[in-house]
Each structure stands twice: as C-alpha cells, then as structure tokens.
Amino acid sequence: MSERRGFASDNHAGVHPEVIAAIADANDGHAAAYGGDPWTAGAQQRFREHFGPAARAFPVFNGTGANVLCLEALTQPWQAVVCARTAHLHVDECGAPERAGRKLLVVDTPDGRLTPELVAPLLVRIGDEHAVQPRLLSIAQSTELGTVHRPEAVAALAEWAHAHGLLLHVDGARLCNAAAALGVPLRALTTDAGVDAVSFGGTKNGLMGAEAVVLLRDDLGDGFKYRRKRAMQLASKMRYISAQLEALLRGDLWERSAAHANAMARRLGAAVGALEGVRVTQPVEANAVFAVLPPAATERLQRSWPFYVWDEGSGEVRWMASWDTTEDEVDAFAADVRAALG
C-alpha cells in the first residue's frame, strides 16, 4: 500500500492541530503521574458535562483495551457478551475478549445493528449451569458497516436488555461520528438512552491515541482502577492522553471533526453511487462507504489509492473518510473510480 492519502481508515489521518497544541500546552513542567494531574481532572469534568454527572471516565491507550475492560467490568467469567458477527470485538481484536475469558455470542445482522428481535433467540438456557449466561449486549456506534443506531433504537434495546437482566455496552470508537450524523449530543446515544458503559473513541477523530472507558452507573465497575492497571492500560504520563480528550470535548472539536468526516463520506457515496458498475451496499450514515465493484477496477484503483477490500468473496470494499479528508480528494477519487471502471 502506498503512502498516499486515501480512504483506507480514519486511523490513517494525522492528529488534529488543535490536539497537537493541547499536548504542547500540557508539556509544562512536572505533573503528578497516573492521572493525578489537572488535565485528567479537566477531562473527567468534560466527560461529566457530556455524559451526565454520574459518568466516570478512565482514559486508556486504545479501543481494544477499552472494550475488553468494559466486558470484564460488566460480566463474570461465566457470562457471555452478545455482539454482531461484524463487531470489532469479534473480528478485529485477535481474541482479546476471549483472552480475558469472556465468550462472545455473535448475531448475524443485515447492517451491523443489533435489535431485540435479533438478540432474543440467544437468550436460552438461562440458569443452566452448563451454558454461558448472556449478560451484556455490545453495540457499535457507528457500526463497523458505517450505519448508526438512532437514539430511540438504543433506548429500546437498553430497555429490553434491562428487562431481561442484561446490560448494554457501546463500542463508541466512532461515537462522535454517530452523534454528529444524527445531530444529537453524545448523551442522547448513551446516558439518556439507558446505556451502561461506553468505550469512547478519540483516535479515529483526530487524537493521537486516546480513548476512555466511561462508566455511566454508580453500581457498576467496582474496582475499575485496579482492573485498568492489571490490563496494562494505566498511563503513567496520563496528562498527555487527558489533554487530548479534554481538547476534543472542550468545545465543538468532537462534532466539527466528525461531521466533516461524515460529510466527506456522504459526498463520496453520492458520487460513486451514481456510477454504473458500483453498488453502494450500506446506507452512508457516518464516515464509511461500503461498495461492491468489479475486482479488476479495485485492483486498478488500489495502485494509486490506499483502501481495504472488506470482503474478498463479494469484492466489497470499504472507503473511510477522516477529519482531514478534503472535497478535492473525494472528487479526484470518485473520478478515478469512474476511470477504473472503464
């Protein structure tokens, strides 16, 4: 894959200049380690502003760590986590949830979204000591297929989960994209919808490697600070992670960056969706475009544009837009898609 800018991943984009400035500002003298610094206190305050006064935020290094910590904190070893078959947890974490001793029960979904109807058939053998006991639903916002769960859908899922003795976790690696796409505050998709815990993503939205576990209920996550350390996710110089999260949540940076990435994906989806020979396979609701095109066209395009083939079998590709994707890039890429189709 070339070094060219492209549509491979929102992780390929650099760090937002306002975040670099926040890191530079935090680089001022000495500060207490392991979260005892003012930047971490500031970030925690921002999380409370966005997620409500009960929110407890724990900065971590990466999304896999945040997810695994949430799973461990919200379940016992004999309990299972239900997620979509396409979930990052299931397909892109190299068995880290299983390494933590948690079994995943996966559900086929047409579009990456979980619903009570899709999950219900898995709620069997409750009380049977020979079977893992479903305890946690995990949804992604936005999903790995670029779709979003609307606030009312999250609320319905949370209500159903709680009525069945389950908890609801949001893998929010792209929560900002989902909220920006829907034009709602972060709490509308989480706290207000009855979500119990969130893996909050910053890295894909212009941070350098900063995520956070956000626990939304007082009665969950007993001993979480010990758990984070045991999971090797406790940063000694936490101020640099916290300063990034604080910068993201302080003003409108979270929304500005995510809304821009979403708009670029919509622009791309509209441009390529109009081409004969391209089939856009999922609604473009956040910052991803999924499409099927002839393999020969994909191969030609990949000579000059980095992007991933999502499904070798069907030829489906994934094009991700980032906070720094430009309209000119989208237009140039769409023109090259047209040319590659011959």
- Binding of residue 140 to ligand PLP (CB under 6 A): yes
Q: What would the two tokens of residue 320 be?
A: 């991700």
Edge to edge, the sheet with strand 279-280 lists: 279-280, 288-292, 316-320, 308-311
- The DSSP H or E segment spanning 140 is strand 133-140
- Binding of residue 255 to ligand PLP (CB under 6 A): no
- Binding of residue 88 to ligand PLP (CB under 6 A): yes
Stretch that binds ligand PLP, among 59-67, 73-81, 181-189, 316-324 (CB under 6 A): 59-67
CB atoms within 10 A of CB 42: 19
- Binding of residue 144 to ligand PLP (CB under 6 A): yes
67/147 with CB nearer ligand PLP: 67
CB atoms within 10 A of CB 124: 9
158/210 with CB nearer ligand PLP: 210
Pick the binder of ligand PLP from 63, 97, 151, 206 (CB under 6 A): 63
Stretch that binds ligand PLP, among 58-66, 75-83, 315-323, 334-342 (CB under 6 A): 58-66
Pick the binder of ligand PLP from 40, 44, 64, 75 (CB under 6 A): 64
Q: Cα 32 to the chain's mean position, in Å?
A: 30
- The DSSP H or E segment spanning 173 is none
- Binding of residue 171 to ligand PLP (CB under 6 A): yes
Q: What would the two tokens of residue 270 be?
A: 């509209």
Coil/strand/helix, residue 78: coil
Q: Where are the alpha helices (DSSP H) in 164-315?
A: 175-182, 224-230, 238-250, 253-273, 295-302
- Binding of residue 62 to ligand PLP (CB under 6 A): yes
Residues near ligand PLP (CB under 6 A), total: 10
Name the site residues for ligand PLP (rule: CB under 6 A). Answer: 62-64, 67, 88, 140, 144, 171, 173, 203
